[in-house]
């Protein structure tokens, strides 16, 4: 029974550290770019897009599809950076132990 209580305490500690890491990452900013930097997207640690910046030269009303693709690529890059940072933080907290469930990022 003592081993079970130790394990339960370890998981409670890990859970509070995971929550703290998620909160810290949510305030960080991650930037993705496309088109040689003509399109940049900034998202937070929760992978929510906070800002999109477009160079004037990339806005061509005759080629909206290209602009849409560049925005999608920049969003994906920013969100990937945020997910990688979250995964790295979670790995620190868990000590590299694989959790029996998938985290939502």
The CATH number for 10's domain is 3.30.1310.10
Inside any domain, residue 102: no
**Residue 83 included in any domain:** yes
Give a yes or no: residue 104 inside a domain. no
Is the residue at 24 inside a domain?
yes
In the chain, the number of structural domains is: 1
Does this model's pTM top 0.95? no
Tens digits of residue pLDDT in 78-100? 999 999 998 888 888 777 666 56
Range of the domain at 15: 2-94
Distances (CA, A) of 7 to 2, 61, 90, 103: 9, 60, 18, 20
User: Is 44 among the domain residues?
Assistant: yes
Is 76 a member of any domain? Answer: yes
The 10s digit of each residue's pLDDT in 45-70 is 988 999 999 999 999 999 999 999 99
3-class SS shares of the chain: helix, strand, coil, % to 5: 55, 15, 25
């Amino acid at each position: 029974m003592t081993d079970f209580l130790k394990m339960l305490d370890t998981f409670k500690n890990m859970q509070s550290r995971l929550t703290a890491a998620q909160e810290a990452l949510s305030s960080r900013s991650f930037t993705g770019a496309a088109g040689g930097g003509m399109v940049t997207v900034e998202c937070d640690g929760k992978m929510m897009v906070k800002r999109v910046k477009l160079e004037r030269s990339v806005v061509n009303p005759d080629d909206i599809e290209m602009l849409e693709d560049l925005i999608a690529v920049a969003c994906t890059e920013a969100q990937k950076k945020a997910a990688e940072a979250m995964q790295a933080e979670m790995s620190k907290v868990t000590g590299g132990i694989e959790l029996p469930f998938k985290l939502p990022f």
